[in-house]
Homo-oligomer: A and B are copies of this chain.
Amino acid sequence: MATGRTHRPATRSRGIPEATVARLPLYLRALTALSERSVPTVSSEELAAAAGVNSAKLRKDFSYLGSYGTRGVGYDVEYLVYQISRELGLTQDWPVVIVGIGNLGAALANYGGFASRGFRVAALIDADPSMAGKPVAGIPVQHTDELEKIISGNGVSIGVIATPAGAAQQVCDRLVAAGVTSILNFAPTVLSVPDGVDVRKVDLSIELQILAFHEQRKAGEEAEGEPAAVPPAARPGASAAADGRKGPDGDVPAVMPA
C-alpha cells in the first residue's frame, strides 16, 4: 500500500467505507473504457474482471452508493460512470498546484491522467529562481514566493508536493496556511498537518521494498526451509552501533534516506 491518510479516526465519510472509495476510481476507469467501446450494460462479473476485483466486492461497493443496477441484466454503463464521477466529486473542476518541478514534478505536469479526470494543473511552483518562467508541459513555472498568491487567487484546495524530502514539510505548512486542505505527497517524509487536512502519500521506493520482501520469500521457498528467523548475531547490549554485525546474507546493507 503506497498510501495512507493522516489522522481522521473512524470518521467514515457519508457511510461509504474508505476501502470502497479507494476502489471507485478503478471501477470508473473500467467503465470509461467500456463506454468508449459503446458497451451499453455490463454485469458485475464482467466489470469486476475489468477492474481487477471480485464480483461480490464490487456489488457490495455499489450497494453503498445506491441501487444502480438492474437484476437479471446488469449495470447501465453511462449511468454508472456518471454516478461514480459524481460520488467522487469529479463533476466539478479541481484546480491543483504542483510544487517542486524536478523530474517527478515535470512528469506529473505532463501526466494526462490528471486533466482527463477534472483535475486542472493551475500552476507549477519551484524554489529555483532559474526555473521561473520556463514552461513545463506548456505551463510557466512560478517561484515559491508566489505560492500564497497562486493558491488563494485560483481557489486551489489540492496541492501536490514533489519536492525533495527536506523541503516538504515547509512547503506543506505554507500550502495549508494558504488554504489547501488536501495534499498528495511524493516526498519521502511524514508530513504533519492540522485536523481537517487530508494527506495521501505515494512513495516509489516503498513499493519496491514490498516487492523485494515477497521476492526474497519466493527465493527462500525454492530452497525449501524458511529464511533463518533470528540469526545468532550480536544483540544490542547497552552500547550502540559499530560492532561489525553480520547477517546470513553478508554485510550490513547500505540503507540511506532518499
Contact = CB atoms under 8 A, between A and B. Distances in A.
A256 to B, nearest CB: 4
Interface string A208-233: 11111111111000000011011100
B6 A3 contact: no
Interface string A91-134: 11010100000111011101111101111000000000000000
Given A86-B247, A188-B113, A257-B32, A210 B107 contact: no
Interface in A235-256: 235-236, 239-242, 245, 247-256
- Interface size, A (range): 35 or more
A85 interface: yes
Given A114-B204, A206-B25, A216-B89, A70 B249 contact: no
The count of identical subunits is 2
Nearest to A67: B230
A139 interface: no
A44 interface: no
Nearest to A231: B86
A175 to B, nearest CB: 13
A242 to B, nearest CB: 8
Contacts of A149: none
A13 B251 CA distance: 24
A177 interface: no
Given A213-B88, A258-B113, A66 B230 contact: yes
B32 A209 contact: no
Residue of A111, A157, A229 ringed by the most chain B CB atoms within 10 A? A111
B158 A215 contact: yes
A116 B13 contact: no
A250 B212 CA distance: 47
A158 B217 contact: no
A39 to B, nearest CB: 8
A25 B258 CA distance: 12
Nearest to A228: B86
B118 A254 contact: yes
A33 interface: yes
A178 interface: no
